[in-house]
A and B are shown apart, each in its own frame.
Chain A
Amino acid sequence: MSWWQSWGLWAAETIVLLVIATGLLQTFFYIVQLVFAGAALGRRPPIARASILWRRYADEAPGIALLAPAFNEEVNIVESVNSLLALHYPDFEVIVINDGSKDRTLETIVGHFGLERVERYHDLHVKHQPIRGLYATPRLPRLLVVDKENGGKSDALNAGMNVARALLFCSMDADSLLEPDALLRAVRPFVEEPRKTLAVGGTIRIANGSRIEEGQVVDMRLPTNFLALVQIIEYLRAFLMARLALSSMQALTVISGAFGIFQRQAALEVGGYSHGTVGEDMELVIKLHRLWREKKEPYRIDFIPEPVCWTEVPESLKVLGRQRARWQRGALETFFRHKKMLFNPRYGRVGFLGFGHILIVDVVGPLVEVLGYFLVPLLWGLGLLSIDYLLAFLAVTFTLGIFVSAATLILEEVELRRFPNARDLAIVTAVAVAENFGYRQLANFWRIRGWWQFLRKKQGWGTMTRKGFAAT
């Protein structure tokens, strides 16, 4: 064997070992997360009925401003606002922020609820596009509409944050469907540790396929679309495993934009939502960690496993691909913007566990895995690698992938049992296996696209086509 052949063989083996080691490291992270998530589920308080929660919290629950940004939501806005106003919580106000809609969103809401233009003395702490007017009516003291020039979701949330007068605010998407007792459940950490708790996230569930009436999921059913089914497994892994575990380690790095409660003053202190990033929800959480770590003040950012919010997920490859590329871009933007936190003892667990997780799963993970898909079969086909390498690669990408998904499902079934029947459980188990063959590779391709867009500094959200939550 010539020197260059030996060198080539050594290089091929080293690269593939690197790919396998990364996969193993990822799986190790997931197993640790499963253990922590299991322990956290065991410790969680019993799921009390809304009436009991009300009795318990009625006197002490801090006020919450629900910030609902709306852009071209003319069709659904009235139903959405009605369902928000019907939430069970002692002290809340709904602030709808019309983010320069091009349709008749403002006219529809103003006309339907009989709102009038009002004045309100509000904060100007965080920057956003100018507010054109505020609308309210004494008949509905819980409702306030902010009409502003278009600036995107984070800009709209910043305007809402400035206008809000409650101690806490809840950020959500215009099409998030909240459980009626979502606020009562999610406020628990703020009641238990009122000064320390800065933010709380809750479990988001997929509404595709379920029956929805008057803004409420009344009958939970599995979607029939394969992509939506796969996302059920992904959401379980993301929320039940990763976020719950990272939260119990006090290293949670993201609270979903679909539902999150924040201490208003803390969010203002870090400058609110950042502009110029598509991962504004992750960015806000990281900014909170960063500032409080730098101030060396004790704090908590928690996640509660109870489902609080339902959302519609994309059912077409095109829209899903765009969304995943955007999420990847958002994670990369936040990671590189705050890269000094990585493995920096000053930032404690967030620097090691939170940023370590982002590094392995979001930054390096997709690159290395896609590299493996091309290189391993090629090098094996060229006779440069033994079958052992191929088997080990298959183990870390396919077999351990199935293990992690199945283990998350076990956790869900043992601790929460939220799938209504055995048939649904069997379907999601089959999907947990099937997603590793084809979908996982596609998802990695989308993430590589996100990497590419990040490198090219592409901005903007793209078009998110939704079917809408008309009664189904």
Chain B
Amino acid sequence: MSTLERLWWIALGIAGAALLIMIGLIVARLILGWTGRAREEERRRLIPILLGARPPTRLGRSARGDLLAELSIELIQLVRGSDRARFVDAATRMGVPERLRHQLNSGSTRVRLSAAEALAEFPDEASVERLVAALGDSNAAVRLSAALSLASTGKAPPARALVGRLGIGTTENSLLTVSLFREIAARKPEEIRGLILDPSVPSGAKAAAIEALSASGDYSLVPLVTTLAVTCDSADEALPRYLSALGDFAHPAAEPAVKRGLGSPSWEVRAAAAEAAGRIGLVRLAAHLRERLGDREWWVRFRAGEALARMGEEGAALLRRSAAGATEPARSAAALTMAERGLA
């Protein structure tokens, strides 16, 4: 048989095999259609058990166990208060946490991820232990989900340890790390505060910690963050986030950081500083903001105009002066900001 003829037969073979598999899948789907109905029936049967209307039974590692786990999580996430506690209790007695812990050993990332998220509802000792072990999972999303679940039950390891294990600020840059720190800060604010003070913590993790605390109203953090923003490298990627958090605190003690930021070579820093100046109401920096109306970057001009518009009559007067006398692009920035805000 020649190579070309062999190619013909191989192609025929693999195409035939693919079609046979497809036919098998169609048949499987037909069967699934029937079992799908049975699954629906099973769901209907399980709901009263979870509602406490019927006594719970222990589960094996059967398909029914997966269904019950899935259904329990759906119901638990739907309700709050005593109903939620009742669902959690029924699901626990039926062995749902045990099944979820088992799923954390699955070879499928998707299954492990679901299990790590769902275990947030079951703060028992064995589940916490398993979630702590999942902080060493090979997949970053599973590790972060396990940390979020632990944090939501108040059983997270110390924040500094989490930073190291998850690589927060180095390999793990998800915005969900802010949610993670916020959850931890709700119970242990000192741990998150400790991250800001710790010089060994990467700046990305510090920024997430600062953002997590920025809505706390703890003004004692302002000098700390200001110092960080004043002393860090002007090219530090976390600097706009520091400034943005200072804007959230809206405390005038942030002025040195904002002033430095307005003169930064990075437009992202200048824009964040201009925005913070407006939110804090740093009228003393109004002249600097007016300069920034002529910035080469639109975001900076926009934020500077916005900040001046927030500063009452003093800011409006500067905008008016720029709209009348400045050169482009400052003139347009000022005129259009006033027009947009009804200050013209």
Q: Do A and B come from one complex?
A: yes
Q: Which residues of A contact B (CB under 8 A)?
A: 20, 24, 42-46, 48-49, 51-52, 56, 59-62, 118-125, 165, 191-196, 265, 388-389, 391-392, 394-396, 399-400, 402-403, 406-407, 409-410, 413-414, 417, 421-422, 425-426, 429, 432-433
Check if B174 sits within 8 Å of A425, measured CB to CB.
no
> Knowing that A24-B7, A409-B22 are A-B contacts, what are 19 other residue pairs whose CB atoms are under 8 Å apart, sorted by A's residue number?
A20-B4, A46-B110, A46-B111, A61-B175, A121-B302, A123-B298, A191-B174, A192-B141, A196-B173, A391-B5, A391-B8, A396-B7, A403-B15, A407-B18, A410-B18, A421-B29, A425-B25, A429-B19, A429-B23
Check if B336 sits within 8 Å of A59, measured CB to CB.
no
Tell me if B339 is interfacial: C-beta within 8 Å of chain A: yes
A-side contacts of B339, CB under 8 Å: 119
Q: Is the interface of B mostly helix, strand, loop or mixed?
A: helix
Tell me if B337 is interfacial: C-beta within 8 Å of chain A: yes
Q: How far is the CA of A60 from the CA of B302 in the complex (A)?
A: 23
A-B contacts, 15 listed (Cβ < 8 Å): A42-B108, A44-B110, A49-B74, A60-B176, A119-B340, A121-B305, A121-B336, A125-B298, A165-B302, A191-B175, A194-B173, A413-B25, A425-B25, A429-B19, A429-B26
The B168-191 residues at the A interface (CB cut-off 8 A) are: 173-176, 178-179, 182
The B133-160 residues at the A interface (CB cut-off 8 A) are: 139, 141
Q: How far is the CA of A432 from the CA of B30 in the complex (A)?
A: 20
Q: How far is the CB of B153 from chain A (nearest CB, A)?
A: 15
Q: How far is the CA of A389 from the CA of B337 in the complex (A)?
A: 72
Check if A402 sits within 8 Å of B336, measured CB to CB.
no
Q: How far is the CA of A402 from the CA of B21 in the complex (A)?
A: 13
Chain A residue with minimal CB distance to B337?
Answer: A121
B-side contacts of A48, CB under 8 Å: 117
Contact with A along B94-120 (1 / 0, CB 8 A): 000000000000001111011001000
Check if A59 sits within 8 Å of B5, measured CB to CB.
no
Tell me if B48 is interfacial: C-beta within 8 Å of chain A: no
Contact with A along B1-35 (1 / 0, CB 8 A): 01011011011101100110111011101100100
Q: How far is the CB of A46 from chain B (nearest CB, A)?
A: 4
The B71-95 residues at the A interface (CB cut-off 8 A) are: 74, 77
**B19, B77, B108, B302: which contacts A433 (Cβ < 8 A)?**
B19
Chain A residue with minimal CB distance to B5?
Answer: A388
Q: How far is the CB of A388 from chain B (nearest CB, A)?
A: 4
Q: How far is the CB of A47 from chain B (nearest CB, A)?
A: 9
Check if A400 sits within 8 Å of B237, measured CB to CB.
no
Q: How far is the CB of B136 from chain A (nearest CB, A)?
A: 18
Check if B15 sits within 8 Å of A120, measured CB to CB.
no
**B11, B29, B141, B332: which contacts A422 (Cβ < 8 A)?**
B29
Check if A422 sits within 8 Å of B26, measured CB to CB.
yes
> Which of B19, B23, B33, B340 has the most C-beta atoms of chain A within 10 angstroms of its own C-beta?
B19
Check if A193 sits within 8 Å of B333, measured CB to CB.
no
A-side contacts of B25, CB under 8 Å: 410, 413-414, 425
B-side contacts of A429, CB under 8 Å: 19, 22-23, 26
Check if A394 sits within 8 Å of B8, measured CB to CB.
yes
Chain A residue with minimal CB distance to B77?
Answer: A52
